[in-house]
């Protein structure tokens, strides 16, 4: 069956702009042109439905591109979905605009933008637009409380920037360890099948709270040790 772009969009329950956006990202092949008319077929429809399915699981468009191109197998696709859920992909969808985030958190949009200019990215791109989650609103409300105690904005932003840089370096090392000692051995022994996917996701879901708990508890201990040292010296 052949479709014009409007028919394809209707068949896949998306907008024409969404179809064209997917094309601009290289997620959907270009149509066949006959004169001025662009024709799509079931291959395009299947691809769009697959993209929507992966988006519903919380995968980013970059990850989706690797899945539909065959660069990521089923095991890695399931792991990417588990990562997305852990980030709040299903429990706390990124649906708020900047203005809505500002209203929900009570933090001026200009301050949120100042935080992001420091390299501390919170929003995620959804169909080409930056969107935020309820979790982001809670983070901003917490930050606002710090300001209410009189902590200077500039110093807080500097602290946040330094913490972000250090934590990203630590995260890269942790992910590399997971890849080398968990994900790759499972894939090498079980292949790219549902068993491997299940084992990999289970390992990720067990290790994530353990690792983040260790880091959070260690920082709390070090912070309190430093505070106590101020009273002793």
Overall average pLDDT of the 9-34 stretch: 94
Note the pLDDT of residue 119: 79
Overall average pLDDT of the 36-58 stretch: 93
| Domains of the chain by start residue, with CATH | 5-56 (1.10.1660.10), 152-233 (no CATH)
Give the Cβ contact number of residue 224 at 10 Å: 10
Q: What is the mean pLDDT of the chain?
A: 90
Give dist(CA 26, CA 73) in Å, integer.
Answer: 19
Q: What backbone torsions phi and psi does residue 229 show, to the nearest 5 degrees? A: -60, -30
21 Cβ contact list (under 8 Å, min separation 6):
127, 128
Least confident of 38-47, 80-89, 217-226: 80-89
Note the pLDDT of residue 19: 95
**pLDDT of residue 92 exceeding 60:** no
Note the pLDDT of residue 6: 95
Burial 144-182 (b: 16+ CB within 10 A, else e): eeeeeeeeeeeeebeeeeeeeeeeeeeeeebeeebeeeb
Overall average pLDDT of the 172-197 stretch: 90
Which has more confidence, 226 or 133? 226
Note the pLDDT of residue 232: 93
> Which residues partner with 3 through β-bridges?
40
Note the pLDDT of residue 122: 81
Burial class (CB within 10 angstroms; exposed 0-12, middle 13-18, buried 19+) of 67: buried
Q: What backbone torsions phi and psi does residue 2 show, to the nearest 5 degrees? A: -110, 145
Overall average pLDDT of the 148-160 stretch: 89
**pLDDT of residue 229 exceeding 50:** yes
Note the pLDDT of residue 94: 67
């Amino acid at each position: 069956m052949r479709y014009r772009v409007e028919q394809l969009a209707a068949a896949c329950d998306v907008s024409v702009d969404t179809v064209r956006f997917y094309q601009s990202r290289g997620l959907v092949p270009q149509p066949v042109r006959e004169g001025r008319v662009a024709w799509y077929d079931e291959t395009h429809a299947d691809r769009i439905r697959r993209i929507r399915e992966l988006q519903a699981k919380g995968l980013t468009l970059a990850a989706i591109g690797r899945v539909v191109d065959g660069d990521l197998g089923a095991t890695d696709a399931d792991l990417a979905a588990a990562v997305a859920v852990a980030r709040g992909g299903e429990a706390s969808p990124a649906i708020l605009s900047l203005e809505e985030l500002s209203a929900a958190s009570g933090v001026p949009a200009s301050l949120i933008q100042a935080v992001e200019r420091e390299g501390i990215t919170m929003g995620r791109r959804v169909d080409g637009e930056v969107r935020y989650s309820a979790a982001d609103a809670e983070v901003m409300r917490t930050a606002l409380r710090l300001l209410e105690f009189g902590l200077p904005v500039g110093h807080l932003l500097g602290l946040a920037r330094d913490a972000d840089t250090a934590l990203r370096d630590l995260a890269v090392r942790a992910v590399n360890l997971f890849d080398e000692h968990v994900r790759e051995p499972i894939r090498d022994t079980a292949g790219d099948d549902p068993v491997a996917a299940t084992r990999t996701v289970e390992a990720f879901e067990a290790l994530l709270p353990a690792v983040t708990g260790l880091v959070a508890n260690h920082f709390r201990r070090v912070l309190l040790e430093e505070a106590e040292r101020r009273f002793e010296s």
